[in-house]
Amino acid sequence: MQARTLYSILLFGGLGFLCGCDRLPGKPKEEDRWKPPSEIKDFALLFNTNCRGCHSNGQTLSASISMNNPPYLAVVPKEVMHKTIETGIPGTQMPTYSDKAGGSLTEEQVNILVEGIYNWAKGHEAPTDNLPPYSAALGDAERGKAVFAQACASCHGSGGEGTKGKGGAVDKAYLSLVSDQYLRTVVIVGRPELGMPGFREYVPGKPMTGEEISDVVSWLASRREGPAPGQSAKTAEIAPKTQPSTPNE
């Protein structure tokens, strides 16, 4: 055998051995290959690309509530979380995700998101005693004003106008962006990452009752100008579709 041939066998044989035979250097790995978005099954990737711009994963600050928040996960029913992701909250910034409703996620991906979000609370579960209902009708705005004075005014000012360093809770522009349910959610779970405690801590040793929560939300809602944003998914489904009265053709 010529020295040159021997050299080639050694070189290529050696390279093949190093690369496990079926892989040449630079060949993309399976996980690097392009996948259609509907094939993405990784929870962190799904959350980071779809939700994290608005809802924290617990490591960042975000405009809306964090999803990595055990007190929130203790109060929000799983079906509500699921439905909210599928349909969004019409009239607010919360988008529709279900591909059946024009969104970009499959049913399976929505399930992966829901399970992954609830898994964040595993091992960090919040207490469930005295837990107020996640959802309830508005209460009495007059009584709510008194509740606000007791539980909220120390940070938000007696009329909700805000105190030094803490924003106004009754800012009209703010109230026109969020639904009554979101106000209720925030009163129950707070914004711990921003320094707002939850329903257990406003008045030391006296968790806020479901009724007080409904009343204070009612007072906040009464400060809003114009209609409340955020129809429930059900209302959105049954609302008549507005058709142009004269077809374009």
Contact residues for ligand HEC (CB under 6 A)?
50-51, 53-55, 64-65, 67, 76, 81, 84-85, 89, 92-95, 97, 113, 151-152, 154-156, 166-167, 169, 178-179, 181-183, 185-187, 191, 194-197, 202, 216, 220, 230
Q: Which is nearer to ligand HEC, 138 or 178 (CB)?
A: 178
For 72, 86, 90, 182, 225, the CA distances from 94, given in Å and listed in that order, are 17, 10, 7, 11, 21
The rounded distance, in Å, linking the Cα atoms of 171 and 183 is 13
Count of other CB atoms within 10 angstroms of residue 42: 13
Nearer to ligand HEC by Cβ, of 8 and 163: the residue is 163
Residue 74 Cβ, how far from ligand HEC at the closest point, in Å? Answer: 12
Q: Which is nearer to ligand HEC, 19 or 63 (CB)?
A: 63
Rounded to whole angstroms, the Cα distance separating 168 from 170 reads 5
CB of 230 to ligand HEC, least distance (A): 4
Report the residue number, 55 or 200, with the smaller CB distance to ligand HEC: 55
Return the number of other C-beta atoms located less than 10 Å from residue 187's C-beta.
Answer: 25
Nearer to ligand HEC by Cβ, of 14 and 102: the residue is 102
- The residue among 163, 167, 222 whose CA lies nearest residue 191 is 167
Please, which residue, 2 or 199, has the CB nearer to ligand HEC? 199
User: Which position's Cβ is nearest ligand HEC?
Assistant: 167
The token pair at 143 is 């009584």
* Alpha-carbon gap, residue 226 to 229, rounded angstroms: 9
Q: What minimum distance in Å lies between the beta carbon of 10 and ligand HEC?
A: 55
Question: From the CB of 124, what's the least distance to ligand HEC, in Å?
Answer: 18
Q: How far is the CB of 158 from ligand HEC (least distance, A)?
A: 12
Q: In the bound complex, what is the minimum distance in angstroms from residue 36's beta carbon to ligand HEC?
A: 18
Residue 52 exposed, middle or buried by CB count within 10 Å (0-12, 13-18, 19+): middle
Type of residue at 9: I
Residue written as tokens 């109230």? 175
